[in-house]
A = this chain, B = another copy of it.
């Protein structure tokens, strides 16, 4: 197993070094970034970053901004480092999808413990099951069953259905679907969604009706009322 990559973003080099030393000792690979813009560059260029540690207080682009940008395209766990732990900050971070929140000064041991806890639960993640009417979607087994009988879906089809089921009853524009199911750097034709929707519908059989077309807008997944 390769070492997991952790991106540490802080404008103070002293702080970066501190964090890096302890994480390296715990056998993680640490990548440093000295400001927000640099962090985003590195994040989107590097594959498989397992976790991001972000300082809130940074000149130019602060931690919240970096967090928001990353969250636009990725669900990577994010830990925020902040000077004061006001409740305000916590709430803001929580809205942005921050996973953990550590206030300075902190003991490096605690930092490492938190990081390990997060990686444990995000990596061991997965036996989750989503249910939508007769459709059962098992994310860990990467398998879908309709009324008990399993059906074969390709990777993209599965991802698409997963996104639909997670957003039942919500009208989804093609743009939104592209941003969430496809990689952030995909700039192809949005019509490719149509093709996948078509295949999904046919594979879902009767249940293909669950995917409704909203003309001029996009698609909506909805389980009909009984």
User: A142 contacts B94, CB within 8 Å?
Assistant: no
- Contact among B90, B103, B121, B130 for A106, CB-based, below 8 A: B121
Q: Which of A187-221 contact B (CB under 8 A)?
A: 214-217, 220
Residues of B within 8 A of A217 (CB): 142, 155
- Is the C-beta of A178 less than 8 angstroms from some C-beta in chain B? no
Known interface pairs A25-B90, A106-B125; A169-B120 also in contact (CB < 8 Å): yes
Most buried by B among A85, A93, A127: A127
User: A103 contacts B84, CB within 8 Å?
Assistant: no
Q: Which of A83-113 contact B (CB under 8 A)?
A: 84-85, 90-91, 93-94, 97-103, 105-107, 109-110
User: B142 contacts A125, CB within 8 Å?
Assistant: no
User: B103 contacts A128, CB within 8 Å?
Assistant: yes
User: B90 contacts A105, CB within 8 Å?
Assistant: no
User: A155 contacts B215, CB within 8 Å?
Assistant: yes
Closest to A142 in B: B171
Residues of B within 8 A of A148 (CB): 91
Known: A25-B90, A120-B170. 4 other contacts (CB 8 A): A101-B131, A107-B122, A141-B220, A142-B220
> Which A residues lie at the B interface, using CB under 8 A?
25-26, 77, 82, 84-85, 90-91, 93-94, 97-103, 105-107, 109-110, 117-118, 120-122, 124-131, 136, 138, 140-143, 148, 154-156, 166-171, 214-217, 220, 222
Residue contacts A-B, CB under 8 angstroms, 25 given:
A25-B94, A77-B107, A85-B129, A85-B138, A90-B129, A90-B136, A93-B129, A99-B107, A99-B109, A99-B131, A100-B129, A100-B131, A106-B121, A106-B125, A107-B122, A120-B170, A121-B168, A121-B169, A121-B170, A140-B170, A141-B169, A141-B220, A142-B171, A142-B220, A143-B171
